[in-house]
Amino acid sequence: MKIGLDGTTLKGRDGGVGAGIEHYTRSIVAALPSCHGSNQLLVARPIGGIPFVSRHVLLPVWLTASGCQVLLCPSGQTPLLWRGKSVIVIHDLAIYEHPEWFAGLPNQDFSVKFSVPRSIRVADRIIVPSHATKEQLLRLHPESEKKIVIVPHGVAVPKEFVSQPAARDVDIKDSIVSIGTIEPRKNLMNAVKAFDLFLKDHPERAASVQYIIAGREGWHHKEVLQEIKRVNDEWQNKSMAVIRYVGSVNEQEKWSLLQQSVGLLFPSWWEGFGLPVLEAMAVGTPVIASSRGALPEVGGDAAIYVEPDDTEQMALAIAQCVLMPDAMKELKESAKKRAAEFTWERTARETMKVIESV
C-alpha cells in the first residue's frame, strides 16, 4: 500500500522549526520508516509559492498521480482536493471550547470554521493523543466516535543527554523552567505570580533561585513580559533578575534547560498532550503540571499537580522542588520510568496499525 504523509507541518509557517505539531510531524516522519513493512511511504510537502494552492490543489494532485491510497495528515486537516482515504491527527480542540485563548491569532477563520470540521467529517480514522482530547472531540463531534483511536505521542532524548549528569556549575543559580509559546493558554501570568509568592515566602532564595521562561512570543505576550518586569523590579535590590525570559530556544538549548533545572513548571489551562512534561520527565526533572486537560494522563503518578488558578499551591510546589532535593529523588526515578513508556517508535507502530485498518 502507498501511504502519503502531508508534510506541510514539517516546518513552521515562518520557515523555522516550529514546535508542537511541527515537532510531532518531524518525529513521526523519522519513526514511521522503521515499521511500514511492505508499505511505501510518500512524504509530500506543498510545492509553489502560493500556500493555499500548493497545499490544497498541487499536493493532492501529486499524491493522486503517485498512486497514494491513504493520506496521513498530522495537522488535522486534509487538503481540499484530496479524494482518497485519510487519517487525521487531532491534537486538541481548545480553540472551539475556549476561543478567548486564541482571539488574537491571525488567519484562523478558514481552518477553524471550515477546514478542521470538514476534515473530521470526511476522515476515515481520527488519531488523538489522549483521552482528554477524545472527550473533547466527542463533545463537539459525537458522530465521530467510531473513528477515534488514541495514540499517545512519544519522547526521544538526544544521545548526548542520555544518562549524563546535568552540567551544573556551582555559580549557576537553581532554576525553575517553563517552556512553551507565550500565550494565554499557557497560564504564565499565574506562573510568574506564583514564583513571586515563593520568593516572598523564602526571600533568602532570591539570590540563588531563578525562573527561566523559554518560548516564542505569542498572542498577549506583552502582558506576561510586563508582569516579569514588575516582579524583577520588586526584587532588584536583593538580586539580579529573578525571572529571565530567554525567547525561543533550539533543541539543544531546550534539553539543556530541562536537564539543568530543578523543576519544570507547566501550568497550562488546557493541553491535548503536553510534550514538555514528557521531555522533562525523560531526563529526570521534577514536573509541576496543571491538573487540567491531558497533563495528568501524561505525568501519571510521577508529577506534582496544581490547580492552574491557585498561585499559592503553585508556589508551594516550587518550594518542594527547590528546597527538598532529597525528597525529589523518588519522583525523578518515577518520572524516568514513566517517560520510558512513551516512545516515537511506539507512536509510529500504533499509527501504522490505524492506517492499515482503513
Answer yes or no: pTM beyond 0.85. yes
- pLDDT tens across 199-212, in order? 999 999 999 999 99
Domain 2-154+343-356, second-level architecture: 3-Layer(aba) Sandwich (3.40)
Q: What are the DSSP calls for 154-206, one per residue?
A: -----GGGTT------TTSPEEEEEES-BSGGG-HHHHHHHHHHHHHH-GGGT
37 pLDDT band, cuts 50/70/90, is confident
How is residue 196 written as a grid cell?
513571586
pLDDT digits (tens, 9 = 90+) for 106-117: 667 788 999 999
Length of the chain: 358
Split at pLDDT 50, 70, 90, the class of 12 is low
Q: Provide CATH 3.40.50.2000 ranges for the chain.
A: 2-154+343-356, 159-339
**Per-residue confidence at 76, pLDDT binned at 50, 70, 90?**
very high
User: What is the per-residue pLDDT across 153-195, written as a single tens digit (0 to 9) for each?
Assistant: 999 998 877 655 444 443 457 999 999 999 999 999 999 999 9
Which is nearest to 127 in space by CA: 351, 339, 353?
A: 351
Q: What pLDDT is recorded for position 165?
A: 47
What is residue 25's three-state secondary structure?
A: helix
Domain 159-339 class, CATH top level: alpha beta
Percent of the chain with pLDDT over 90: 77
pLDDT at 17 over 70: no
Rounded (10°) CA dihedral 293, 298, 300, 305: -50
For residues 224, 226, 228 and 232, what is the CA-based torsion angle, rounded to 10 degrees? 180
Q: Which residues are 304's β-sheet partners?
A: 288
Question: Cβ–Cβ contacts within 10 Å for residue 160, how many?
Answer: 9
Burial class (CB in 10 A: 0-12, 13-18, 19+), 186: buried
Contact indicator for 257, 161 with CB cutoff of 8 Å:
no
